[in-house]
Amino acid sequence: MRYWGTNGGEVNTSDCFVIGLSVQLGSALKGMRILVVEDSWQVAVALKRLLQTLGAEAVGPVACTSDAERVISERLPDAAIVDINLRAGERAYGLIDQLLDKGVRVVVTSGYSNLSNLPAKVAGVLQKPVEAAQLLSVLQTGRTNAASPEDCS
């Protein structure tokens, strides 16, 4: 069983990713467009690589609200992974509200354990370092086209 965190570890795409059920790596999030909003370049690149390995179209990364708003205005993502603390001390609460108002599934990440003032509608709150298994579970919850166990070869 392999779990890939956001530490930038290399993923062998021929391996099968197991999270309670087996899914083929390249199809777990197939068809999903996911925005990455993260101010730490290393974490952002690792998240983007993980999402691409899982079959998602990873958009970004962006490190501030204004860049995220620009990306959203061009094409709305299906989901967004948003760090609560962004570049130059900016907080992402307003961005999270905007995304939720547009029907975007939001997963919040943070290095802090106590996050108050988060809308109840967020799909999940994940503590950094984020485990791939947790992230995949939150992103797949409610998807009708999530890969099934027999998809693993």
Distance CA 117, CA 126 (A): 15
Contact 37, 86 (CB under 8 A): yes
Per-residue pLDDT of the chain (153 residues; tens, 9 = 90+): 333 444 444 444 333 333 333 344 567 899 999 999 999 999 999 999 999 989 999 999 999 999 999 999 999 999 999 999 999 999 999 999 999 999 999 999 998 877 777 878 899 999 888 888 889 999 988 554 333 333 333
DSSP strand pairing (105-110 vs 79-83): parallel
Contact 115, 121 (CB under 8 A): no
Q: What is the pTM of this model?
A: 0.77
- Domains with residue ranges and CATH for the chain: 16-151 (3.40.50.2300)
